[in-house]
A and B are shown apart, each in its own frame.
Chain A
Amino acid sequence: MSALLDHLQRPTLGIPDLTAVLPEILFYGFALVAVGSAMAAAMAPKIVHAAFGLMATFFGVAALYAMLGADFVAFSQIIVYVGGILVLLVFGVLLTARTEASLGLEKATTKNFAIIAGGLLFAVLVFAIGGTTWPVANAPGEPEPTTEAIGRAFLDPEGMLIPFELASVLLLAALVGAAYLARRRRDA
């Protein structure tokens, strides 16, 4: 068995050593999932299909976060986006279901112009990204658990404590406001 592995890992052979390029394969796979389903979310004729495309995008992006060593952000992404925002969106789709509106009767010209605008912006961004030297380290850091560092940064009075508390108050105010706005009026 080990002789077989030696045989497979010898670089002079024509057989590609897949363990060496596994990060690349995973990256391109997850990126394809994220971008492909984002396009489905942007262009699917039915809104419910767009919502499910968005779910696949969230999972693909969470996997990319995990590959970037951001374990806490990856799981927050799944819990908050898939467990919270996406459920809200699906509720919104269901509560506002109308046959012609939920079929998304976009004008063909509008859609074509939007796709051209998006494609042009993407070309400009790729050109700009390729032509820029970013002031970052040459090699990424070693992946290590980030939860403790994030918790300490959020509760550090010298660090992010005040923004963290402000975000908490903002979330509370937004949710109370949303509950107030979304209530059904009996007297109307």
Chain B
Amino acid sequence: MTLLLAIGLNEYLVVGAALFCAGLVAVLSRRNAVAILIGIELMLNAANVNLVAFDHWRPGQIQGQLFALFVLVIAAAEAAVALALILNVFDTSDRIDVDEIDTLKG
């Protein structure tokens, strides 16, 4: 079974890159603010995959996992605040499309 590649660090990094690019596509193409938030969560997860993968290839060290946990906390705070802002904007202007929220545009 030499056809199958052995799983090394690079395979995990490629998965992280794919997740990041999926998040980028969502952030660039979506107009719904909640869908853009979904894209941001995908990008944060991609960063976490890289952190944990590098940690695995540094035996005896735990810093990568600690950083991943900090990213988790920041993601939770960011999602709560962003959704509160989105709901507030939706309440006052009845809009969810980021293209249409242009009250401050000159």
Contacts between chains A and B (CB distance < 8 A), count: 252
Give complex CA distance A178, B85 in Å: 8
For the complex, count residues of A whose C-beta is within 8 A of B. 90
Q: Chain B contacts of A180 at CB under 8 A? A: 84
B29–A72 touching, CB < 8 Å = no
Q: Chain B contacts of A111 at CB under 8 A? A: 29
Given A16-B1, A64-B49, A146-B38 contact (CB < 8 Å): no
A47–B25 touching, CB < 8 Å = no
Given A16-B1, A126-B17, A129-B13, A68-B83 contact (CB < 8 Å): no
When each residue 55-77 of chain B gets 1 if its CB lies under 8 Å from chain A and 0 otherwise, what string results?
A: 11111101001101110111111
B19–A38 touching, CB < 8 Å = yes
A115–B29 touching, CB < 8 Å = yes
Q: Chain A contacts of B77 at CB under 8 A? A: 170-171, 174-175
A93 within 8 A of B: yes
B59–A85 touching, CB < 8 Å = no
CB proximity of A92 to chain B, nearest CB, Å: 5
B contacts with A: majority SS: helix
Q: Chain A contacts of B91 at CB under 8 A? A: 184-185
Which A56-75 residues have C-beta < 8 A from chain B? 57-58, 61, 64-65, 68-70, 72-73
B-contacting residues of A (Cβ < 8 Å)?
16-17, 20-21, 23-24, 27, 31, 34-35, 38-39, 41-43, 47, 50-51, 54, 57-58, 61, 64-65, 68-70, 72-73, 76-77, 80-81, 84-85, 88-89, 91-93, 95-96, 98, 101-102, 104-106, 110-111, 113-115, 117-119, 121-122, 125-126, 129-130, 134, 136-137, 139-142, 146, 149-150, 153-154, 160, 163, 167, 170-171, 174-175, 177-182, 184-185, 188
Residue pairs across A and B with Cβ atoms less than 8 A apart, 26 shown, are A20-B1, A27-B11, A42-B29, A43-B25, A50-B35, A61-B48, A68-B12, A73-B52, A73-B65, A80-B76, A85-B76, A89-B83, A101-B32, A101-B96, A114-B29, A119-B21, A126-B17, A129-B17, A137-B57, A140-B57, A142-B59, A167-B70, A171-B73, A174-B76, A182-B88, A184-B91
Known A111-B29, A121-B20; further 10 A-B contacts with Cβ < 8 A: A35-B22, A38-B19, A42-B23, A43-B29, A106-B29, A125-B14, A153-B62, A170-B77, A174-B78, A182-B88
